[in-house]
Structures are given as C-alpha cells and as structure tokens.
C-alpha cells in the first residue's frame, strides 16, 4: 500500500498554488515558537491521492508548499528537491517551491 497525501490546488491572481501534506497531518495543529501551523481542510484538504500523482501536479505550480515525511522523501527520491533542502517546522519536514 503506497502512502497517500492531501492535495489542494488554489488559483489566486494568476498564480497556481499547490498545497500537499501527508495524509496523517490533515486537521492537526502544531506550535513552532510563536507560530501555529494549521493543516486545515481549507488550505490542504483537497483530494486524497497517491504521492506520485500529487507530485506530478507540481509541473503546473507557480508556488507550492509541501509538508510531511512521506511527501518530502518521495519528492527528493524523484529529484524534485535536493537532499537536505527541507527545513523542519514543529518537527515536520517542509519545502516550498516558488517559480
């Protein structure tokens, strides 16, 4: 069984913003210093899909936000990001893409 993730595509002022998070993060909140990271359905809760399928959507993204062990690991394996590029926010790996 392959890992799943939630993907939501936002279209805002000519930008295509894609948010992707590991399946187990949706609906949770984490504190990181003064910042609260909210994996809300509004921003992340689009479609539940296979991580490979989700990452293929990044081709059309102008901005992307990826969170989670599984998502980041697969993105690095596919060569989308170099190893070690992810930062940890509240202990969760995170990468952003801006084109």
User: pLDDT for 35-75, tens place per residue?
Assistant: 999 999 999 999 999 999 999 999 999 999 999 999 999 99
Helices (H) and strands (E) in the chain, counts: 3, 8
List of residues 6+ apart from 93 with CB closer than 8 A: 67, 68, 69, 72, 86, 87
Nearest to 50 by CA among 7, 95, 8: 7
Domain ranges within the chain, ordered by starting residue: 4-98
Max alpha carbon distance in the chain (Å)?
A: 38
Q: What is the pLDDT of residues 2-42, one digit of tens each?
A: 799 999 999 999 999 999 999 999 999 999 999 999 999 99
Task: Tell me the whole-structure pTM to 2 decimals.
Answer: 0.94
CA pseudo-torsion sign 82, 50, 38, 16: positive
97 phi and psi angles, rounded to 5 deg: -125, 130
Topology of the domain covering 4-98 = 3.30.1860
């Amino acid at each position: 069984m392959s890992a799943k993730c939630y993907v939501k595509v936002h279209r805002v002022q000519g930008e295509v913003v894609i948010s992707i998070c590991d399946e187990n993060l949706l609906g949770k909140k984490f504190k990181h210093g003064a910042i609260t990271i909210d994996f809300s359905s509004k921003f992340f809760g689009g479609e539940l899909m296979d991580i490979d399928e989700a990452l293929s959507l990044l081709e059309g993204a102008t901005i992307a936000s990826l969170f989670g062990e599984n998502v980041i690991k697969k993105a690095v394996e596919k060569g989308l990001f170099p190893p070690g590029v992810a930062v940890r926010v509240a202990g969760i790996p995170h990468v952003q893409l801006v084109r």
